[in-house]
């Protein structure tokens, strides 16, 4: 029963304050059990229907920000609350009807996976229990689940189970986490106190020209500066030229710089090429450099026996970035950093303020994740990865990843055989191709390449707005290409065939339009 009571609080010397509130507290944000069930079941019904019919919807409506702002309205911050059921119903309609659907079977853009439905349920469960996985005392079982997830990921990619690691928000953060561990391990020890500007020699790092943009952000943000990056040229297969790498390291040492790390890429963002990791590992050993592998996209393919060799050398990596929200089909956000000697993470990230009572006591198995990465309070993103790994198992993942690769090969082969398409590259599950009108196939005039670039860029923009298929772009040896990356367990052979028909149909139209101009 709720009753109002006046409470007078007295301190020894004077009367301080009068409190007036219900003894049973009522808040505008709690949802009672029956209401939660009613709203929750309704939402789950909607989501189940959304997933079930996702292939019937357009990938995108192509609505402009202005159109969306009109739909959303511009009401000010609400002064008064509204019923949860009403706002959730409105919001689910808003999201389902006005989103770009990366779970659509014809979404092959960038590197964003169709999200495993079990991940949605996992996020609901994680948010309901809401463990803070920054410290074990605040997340007893969640910490153990994250530890097991990290261990399973080491097994998945075939490195030693002595690697330790942490779940982070995505590929950028996974690489940053490894980058900072490398800096701590290989830069002069006094930079922790003195700062990087006091390092006696310029710190330099090495990576191929195809390396994802995270590296530039890291060099700028973490004090090395973008000029510390030695962008090593690639060979015809888009792999880092390791002869040039070694030569550059030698020159830097001779000139008084201090090399600290080499980044190998296991599946480059544009074409999916995998560097020769074994050779890079050898070079790192010779010059005592940290060997970091950016496997954010490609490393899960190691689970397929016939691709294992492609990743030879991964076991030598000091750190590896991988990204469950890419090829392990986790919903956003889930990345992971694995480090050969996890003590490097603790050396980099651990602090012990007096207000933390998280010490390990005698129990050495305690693990406080705030000591392993940049975050302090942390959500339970491991749960969705852990559950999906159990749902599909290693063999289920091997099958899905292998199918993605075969579909990508099919896309390449069909493009190669088509008179109006040019297949450009195919690695892992990334294919690049371009539309070449029949009258340009034999054409040798000087403007041919420039025209084809203009045509394919315009075509890509048209396709991205059209809603039938979503591809992204890559520039390969100066050619503007359409790029399909299949990290999508919903894509089928039929989708690939239809996608090519759409490209050719829209390509013809765009060519005609440009010719008329
Ligand atoms: C090779 C590689 N590294 C890092 C990233 C960044 O990942 P995220 O977008 O999850 O931060 C990407 C993204 O596509 C990538 O392909």
Q: What share of the chain is helix, strand, coil (3-state, %, to 5)?
A: 50, 15, 35
Kindly state if the Cβ of 214 falls inside 6 Å of ligand 1: yes
Q: Residue 362: which pLDDT band, with cuts at 50, 70 and 90?
A: low
Query: 378: which strand partners?
Result: none
Those residues with Cβ within 8 angstroms of residue 515's Cβ, 6 or more apart along the chain or in another chain: none
Give the distance (Å) from ligand 1 centre to CA of residue 78: 37
Give the distance (Å) from ligand 1 centre to CA of residue 334: 11
Ligand 1, closest atom to CA 325?
10
The preferred substitution site among 214, 217, 271 for testing ligand 1, maximizing ligand atoms within 8 Å of CB, is: 214
Candidates 42, 26, 24; CA nearest to 34 is 42
Give the distance (Å) from ligand 1 centre to CA of residue 329: 14
Share of the chain above pLDDT 90, in %: 88
Ligand 1, closest atom to CA 269?
16
Query: 476: which strand partners?
Result: 479
Tokens read off for 243: 């002869």
Kindly state if the Cβ of 495 falls inside 6 Å of ligand 1: no
Write down the pLDDT at residue 361.
60
Write down the pLDDT at residue 441.
84
Is it the case that residue 5 has pLDDT exceeding 50?
Answer: no
Q: Give dist(CA 57, CA 97) in Å, integer.
A: 9
Write down the pLDDT at residue 17.
79
Kindly state if the Cβ of 178 falls inside 6 Å of ligand 1: no
More confidently predicted of 439 and 19: 439
Q: Are 330 and 384 in contact (CB under 8 A)?
A: yes
HEC letters along 216-228:
HHHHHHCCCCHHH
How many CB atoms neighbour CB 156 within 10 A?
A: 19
Whole-number average pLDDT of the chain: 94
Write out pLDDT tens, residues 89-118: 999 999 999 999 999 999 999 999 999 999
Kindly state if the Cβ of 170 falls inside 6 Å of ligand 1: yes
Tokens read off for 457: 């860029």
Q: Residue 6: which pLDDT band, with cuts at 50, 70 and 90?
A: very low
Q: Atom 5 (ligand 1): residue with closest C-alpha?
A: 171
Kindly state if the Cβ of 294 falls inside 6 Å of ligand 1: yes
Q: Give dist(CA 415, CA 45) in Å, integer.
A: 40
Q: Are 322 and 295 in contact (CB under 8 A)?
A: yes
Give the distance (Å) from ligand 1 centre to CA of residue 171: 4
**What is the DSSP annotation of 488-513?**
-TT--HHHHHHHHHHHHHHHHHHHHH
Write down the pLDDT at residue 364.
67
Q: Are 459 and 472 in contact (CB under 8 A)?
A: no
Write out pLDDT tens, residues 486-504: 999 999 999 999 999 999 9
Ligand 1, closest atom to CA 111?
14
Candidates 387, 391, 379; CA nearest to 168 is 379
Is it the case that residue 63 has pLDDT exceeding 80?
Answer: yes
Kindly state if the Cβ of 171 falls inside 6 Å of ligand 1: yes
Kindly state if the Cβ of 230 falls inside 6 Å of ligand 1: no
Query: 479: which strand partners?
Result: 476
The preferred substitution site among 108, 110, 111, 175 for testing ligand 1, maximizing ligand atoms within 8 Å of CB, is: 111
Give the distance (Å) from ligand 1 centre to CA of residue 111: 8
Is it the case that residue 66 has pLDDT exceeding 90?
Answer: yes
Q: Residue 95, SS3? A: helix
Q: Residue 14: which pLDDT band, with cuts at 50, 70 and 90?
A: low
Write down the pLDDT at residue 22.
75
Q: Atom 15 (ligand 1): residue with closest C-alpha?
A: 269
Write out pLDDT tens, residues 295-312: 999 999 999 999 999 999
Q: Is the bond preceding residue 460 a cis peptide, omega within 30 degrees?
A: no
- Stretch 13-35: mean pLDDT, rounded? 85
Kindly state if the Cβ of 269 falls inside 6 Å of ligand 1: yes
Q: Give dist(CA 16, CA 406) in Å, integer.
A: 75
Give the distance (Å) from ligand 1 centre to CA of residue 475: 17
Write out pLDDT tens, residues 237-296: 999 999 999 999 999 999 999 999 999 999 999 999 999 999 999 999 999 999 999 999
Q: Is the pTM of this model over 0.75?
A: yes
Write out pLDDT tens, residues 127-155: 999 999 999 999 999 999 999 999 999 99
């Amino acid at each position: 029963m709720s009753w109002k009571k006046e409470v007078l609080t007295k301190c020894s010397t004077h009367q301080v304050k009068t409190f007036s509130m219900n003894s049973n507290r009522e808040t505008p944000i709690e949802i009672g059990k029956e209401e939660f069930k009613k709203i929750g079941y309704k939402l789950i019904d909607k989501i189940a229907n959304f997933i079930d019919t996702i292939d019937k919807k357009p990938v995108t409506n192509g609505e402009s920000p202005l159109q969306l702002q009109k739909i959303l309205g511009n009401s000010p911050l609400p002064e008064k609350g509204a019923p949860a059921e009403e706002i959730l119903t409105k919001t689910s309609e808003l999201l389902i009807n006005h989103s770009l659907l990366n779970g659509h079977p014809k979404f092959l853009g960038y590197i964003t996976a169709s999200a495993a439905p079990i991940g949605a349920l996992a996020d609901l469960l994680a948010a309901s229990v809401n463990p803070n996985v920054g410290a074990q005392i605040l997340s007893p079982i969640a910490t153990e689940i994250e530890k097991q997830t990290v261990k399973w990921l080491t097994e998945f990619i075939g490195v030693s189970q002595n690697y330790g690691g942490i779940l982070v928000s995505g590929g950028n953060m996974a690489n940053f986490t490894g980058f900072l561990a490398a800096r701590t391990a290989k830069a002069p020890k006094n930079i922790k106190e003195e700062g990087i500007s006091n390092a006696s020699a310029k710190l330099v790092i090495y990576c191929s020209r195809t390396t994802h943009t995270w590296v530039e952000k890291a060099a700028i943000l973490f004090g090395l500066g973008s000029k510390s990056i030695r962008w090593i040229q690639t060979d015809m297969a888009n792999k880092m030229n390791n002869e040039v790498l070694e030569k550059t390291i030698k020159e830097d040492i001779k000139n008084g710089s201090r090399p600290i790390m080499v980044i190998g890429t296991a599946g480059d963002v544009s074409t999916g090429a995998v560097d020769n990791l074994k050779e890079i590992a050898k070079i790192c050993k010779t010059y005592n450099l940290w060997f970091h592998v950016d496997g954010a996209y490609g490393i899960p393919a190691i689970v397929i026996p016939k691709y294992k060799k492609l990743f030879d050398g991964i076991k030598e990596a000091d750190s590896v970035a991988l990204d469950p929200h890419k090829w392990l089909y986790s919903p956003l956000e889930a990345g992971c950093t694995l480090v050969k000697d996890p003590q490097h993470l603790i050396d980099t990230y651990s602090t012990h303020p007096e207000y933390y009572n998280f010490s390990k006591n005698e129990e050495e198995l305690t693990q406080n994740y705030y000591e392993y990465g940049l975050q302090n309070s942390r959500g339970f993103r491991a749960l969705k990865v852990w559950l999906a790994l159990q749902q599909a198992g290693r063999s289920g993942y091997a099958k899905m990843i292998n199918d993605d690769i075969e579909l990508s090969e099919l896309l390449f082969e069909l493009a190669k055989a088509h008179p109006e398409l040019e297949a450009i590259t195919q690695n892992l599950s990334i294919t690049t191709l371009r539309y070449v009108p029949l009258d340009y196939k034999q054409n040798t005039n000087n403007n041919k390449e420039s025209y084809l670039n203009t045509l394919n860029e315009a075509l890509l923009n048209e396709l991205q707005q059209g809603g039938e298929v979503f591809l992204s772009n890559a520039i390969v040896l100066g050619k503007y290409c359409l790029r399909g990356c299949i990290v999508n367990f919903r894509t089928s052979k039929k989708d690939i065939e239809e996608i090519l028909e759409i490209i050719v149909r829209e390509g013809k139209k765009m060519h005609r339009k440009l010719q008329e101009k």
